[in-house]
Amino acid sequence: MKAMIMAAGVGSRLEPLTCNIPKPMVPVVNRPALEHIIRLLVKNGIHQVAANLWYLPDKIMDYFGDGSAFGVSLRYSLEENLMGTAGGVKKLQDFFDETFVVISGDALTDINLDALIQAHKEKKAIATIALMEVEDPRQFGVVITDEDGRIKAFQEKPQPGEELSRKANTGIYVFEPAIFDHIPAGQVYDFGKQVFPHLVQAGVPFYGFPIADYWCDIGTLTQYRLANYDVLRGKVRIDIPGIGHPGAVYVGENTYIAPTAQIGSKVVIGKGCRIADGVEIFGETVIGDNCIIQENTTIFASVVWNNTRIDRDSRLVECVVGSECYLKEGSVIGAGVILSDSCVIEPRRVVEANAKIWPKQVIGGDENSN
């Protein structure tokens, strides 16, 4: 079995976190989202994988290489210009000579792909979409099926009361090679906008398969934080790096935690960290690798990326702090703040709630940031 990972997107809605890395490389509990997807494929017996790349492709290729360290053979398809979801897959038509899976590289899911593939084969479908029941369909394209699961129509982001379905398209598909007969070569072409409506009109075997597994589209900054929280709350079945301790606490190798530091439940601390006396970390928090947290700092419900230093007496609440940042003594980072890579916060500086700070900014002086 083979799979295609869609990994060419920019992730503009995740800016400023995606200024220096492509969206699939955004870390969820200290592993890139794309790594979680590859681990899912391996778990489901899929070891031959292709990925299309466009934005900052070297970041992905340098990390994953040929895929052998992650249990897969990984082939890259570099797109000079974005080809659309279907166009990107069409470019690799020669690679897909049997039933195959297409999955987004920037979602978080523990879907049972075996069950999805089995349902696809039982229906003798040319295409099958994994469908997730959602409470608010306004954020999604929804799918209308008959009683047998055959897809009859689509509705894009319906307004409240106008929805014909609450079954969201997860962007996880199973295809037969015959799907390529419905995708023109050398064109920008999209599954949702062009291929799928055509399949409905053509009357080919095209089905939806409802899933009850976890699925989250990491499409916004709020969803990014929630994805990390959901892992720590046990809502999604993925491997968490580090040694597990009671209370859903995971600590990486070569990390030192001082005797008087207090680590609450549902916390992940990466490799090579130094957590000083009097530090409090609690409330579903992720600390990346090689971070230094100095005395009497409090971190609540936040995500801190690799190689960041936080000096003493600082306070972080429900925020995201990028890689290689330096928060000096007494820094206060408010709820909803997104602090991108390589930023410096001068002593006793307050970054107000919901501020977005782009990379390499120095926040200093006596005025608050907005």
The pair of structure tokens assigned to 313 is 């007496």
pLDDT in tens, 152-187: 999 887 777 778 888 999 999 999 999 999 999 999
Type of residue at 260: T
**pLDDT higher than 70, residue 241:** yes
* Count of beta carbons in the 10 Å neighbourhood of residue 349: 23
Q: Name the DSSP letter for residue 191.
A: I
Over residues 45-49, mean pLDDT = 98
Three-class HEC string of 243-305: EEECCCEEECCCCEECCCCEECCCEEECCCCEECCCCEEECCEEECCCCEECCCCEEECCEEC
Type of residue at 169: N
pLDDT in tens, 83-93: 999 999 999 99
* Count of beta carbons in the 10 Å neighbourhood of residue 44: 18
pLDDT attached to residue 370: 42
Find tokens 């894009």 and name the residue.
Answer: 156
pLDDT attached to residue 159: 77
Average pLDDT, the chain: 95
The pair of structure tokens assigned to 181 is 């007969």
b/e code 219-231 from CB counts within 10 Å (16+ = b): bebebbbbbbbbb
pLDDT attached to residue 11: 86
For residue 170, the SS3 value is strand
- pLDDT confidence tier of residue 303, bands split at 50, 70 and 90: very high
Domains annotated for the chain, with CATH where assigned, are 2-232 (3.90.550.10), 243-363 (2.160.10.10)
For residue 100, the SS3 value is strand
Closest CA relative to residue 85, chosen from 209, 208, 169: 169
pLDDT in tens, 101-150: 999 999 999 999 999 999 999 999 999 999 999 888 777 888 999 999 99
pLDDT in tens, 185-207: 999 999 999 999 999 999 999 99
pLDDT attached to residue 57: 97
Over residues 310-338, mean pLDDT = 98
**pLDDT higher than 80, residue 28:** yes
Residues 6+ apart with CB under 8 A from 161: none
Over residues 63-85, mean pLDDT = 97
pLDDT in tens, 269-280: 999 999 999 999
Distance, CA of 355 to CA of 180 (rounded, Å)? 45
Least confident of 132-136, 337-341, 350-354: 132-136
pLDDT attached to residue 368: 43
Query: Is there a contact between 127 and 198 (Cβ–Cβ < 8 Å)?
Result: no
- pLDDT confidence tier of residue 367, bands split at 50, 70 and 90: very low
Three-class HEC string of 325-352: CEECCCCEECCCCEECCCCEECCCCEEC
The pair of structure tokens assigned to 99 is 């039933």
Find tokens 């935690």 and name the residue.
Answer: 257
pLDDT attached to residue 157: 79
Read off φ and ψ for residue 19, nearest 5 degrees.
Answer: -65, -35
Query: Is there a contact between 107 and 33 (Cβ–Cβ < 8 Å)?
Result: yes
